[in-house]
């Protein structure tokens, strides 16, 4: 019985830590976007490991903030929200909020 518990814990730990977390890759991809690139170009080069809510941006003055809703394998303990900010459909910056 003790061996079964140890084996179960090891398998669970392996599965938990072996899942690829694309959080760092997502931040790196967003941070390498050129300021001024069109929203269409960003949509075309969006990696398949992230999902962005392109349909319902938050609007602040003349800015549209698009939320990154899912990052494959993300286990962000801080619960950060990452947004792509556009002005006149041109990329400006990434904003992270808790």
For residue 79, give the CATH number of its domain: 3.30.1450
Range of the domain at 28: 20-97
Determine, yes or no, domain membership for 50: yes
Say how far apart CA 84 and CA 32 lie, in whole Å.
12
Q: How much is the pLDDT for 91? A: 98
Determine, yes or no, domain membership for 48: yes
Helix (H) or strand (E) holding 25: helix 23-31
Q: How much is the pLDDT for 83? A: 98
Q: How much is the pLDDT for 74? A: 85
Number of domains in the chain: 1
Nearest to 93 by CA among 23, 22, 37, 25: 37
Q: How much is the pLDDT for 56? A: 97
Which residue stretches of the chain have pLDDT < 70? Answer: 1-19
Determine, yes or no, domain membership for 59: yes
Say how far apart CA 40 and CA 68 lie, in whole Å.
16
**Do strands 90-97 and 50-52 pair parallel, antiparallel, or not at all (unpaired)?**
unpaired
Q: How much is the pLDDT for 98? A: 86
């Amino acid at each position: 019985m003790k061996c079964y518990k140890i084996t179960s814990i090891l398998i669970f730990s392996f599965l938990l830590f072996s899942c690829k977390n694309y959080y760092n890759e997502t931040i790196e991809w967003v941070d390498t976007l050129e300021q001024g690139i069109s929203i269409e170009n960003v949509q075309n080069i969006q990696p398949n490991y992230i999902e962005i809510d392109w349909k319902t941006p938050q609007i602040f003055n003349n800015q549209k903030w698009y939320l990154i809703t899912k990052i494959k394998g993300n286990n962000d303990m801080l619960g950060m929200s990452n947004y792509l900010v556009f002005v006149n459909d041109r990329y400006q910056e990434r904003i992270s909020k808790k």
